[in-house]
């Protein structure tokens, strides 16, 4: 919207419509034709220590846990807050630790500075942690239609067999719609 980037990665659910990314892309680029380029679907879930010693089975069990939180405004933070509120649990980030990435969520759990956190399956498995699925989200690039050509080198790379095979080995990622383009308004 500020003109400092050609595209933005988004993974935000519009609860009212039940659709991923469209409403957010339209509101960020008002009055412009917007396209969404599908990169992948990915599973988000709760990362817990091996053996799940606190007995976390879902978001409702997070009320009394020390959580690893992503930064305010990130898609993963918004997802966790929404899921907690839906379960009647008040998000309390002040009782946990704020981290900068999915890997940092898993690292905080592995180190014992957090009892749980929301992250992708691949990071939990890479550190030998347990993981409980809570959502599958669409991860896409949003851009004004006239700048779509700027994404072509990335899309060509994503379509390559070598990259598809490598990404396809990541647990919790679905690439069946990678490269699909849809209008967001």
pLDDT for res 16: 86
The position carrying tokens 């991923």 is 20
pLDDT of residue 154: 83
CA-CA distance, 129 to 18, in Å (whole number)? 31
pLDDT at 164: 85
Q: Is residue 181 a contact partner of residue 154, using CB atoms and an 8 Å limit?
A: no
What are the residues whose beta carbons fall under 8 Å from the beta carbon of 137, sequence distance 6 or more? Answer: 11, 13, 20, 41, 42, 44, 75, 79
Say if pTM beats, i.e. exceeds, 0.85: yes
**For residue 93, what pLDDT is reported?**
93
Q: Residue 101: how many CA atoms within 13 Å on its side-chain side? A: 6
Q: How far apart are CA 132 and CA 80, in angstroms?
A: 13
- Gap between the Cα atoms of 178 and 185, Å rounded: 20
Residue 72 carries which DSSP code? T
DSSP code at position 70: P
pLDDT 10s per residue in the chain (185 long)? 788 888 889 999 888 888 999 998 988 888 888 999 999 999 999 999 999 999 999 999 999 899 999 999 999 999 999 999 999 999 999 999 999 999 999 999 999 999 999 999 999 999 999 999 999 999 999 988 888 887 888 888 888 888 888 888 889 999 889 888 898 86
Distance CA 108, CA 8 (A): 27
Rounded CA-CA distance 140/177 in Å is 10
Taking the C-alpha atoms of residue 160 and residue 176, their distance in angstroms, rounded to an integer, is: 13
- For 171, the 3-state DSSP assignment is coil
């Amino acid at each position: 919207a500020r003109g400092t980037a050609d595209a933005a990665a988004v993974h935000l659910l519009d609860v009212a419509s039940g659709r991923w990314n469209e409403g957010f892309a339209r509101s960020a680029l008002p009055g412009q034709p917007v396209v969404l380029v599908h990169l992948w679907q990915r599973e988000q879930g709760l990362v817990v220590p091996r053996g799940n010693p606190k007995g976390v089975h879902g978001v409702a069990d997070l009320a009394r846990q020390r959580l690893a939180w992503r930064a305010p405004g990130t898609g993963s933070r918004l997802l966790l807050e929404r899921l907690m509120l839906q379960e009647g649990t008040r998000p309390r980030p002040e009782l946990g630790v704020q981290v900068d990435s999915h890997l940092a969520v898993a690292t905080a759990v592995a180190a014992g500075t957090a009892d749980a956190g929301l992250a992708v399956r691949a990071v939990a498995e890479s550190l030998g942690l347990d993981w409980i699925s809570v959502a599958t989200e669409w991860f896409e690039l949003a851009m004004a239609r006239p700048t779509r050509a700027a994404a072509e080198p990335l899309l060509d790379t994503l379509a390559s067999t070598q990259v598809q095979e490598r990404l396809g080995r990541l647990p919790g990622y679905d690439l069946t719609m990678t490269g699909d383009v849809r209008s967001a308004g």
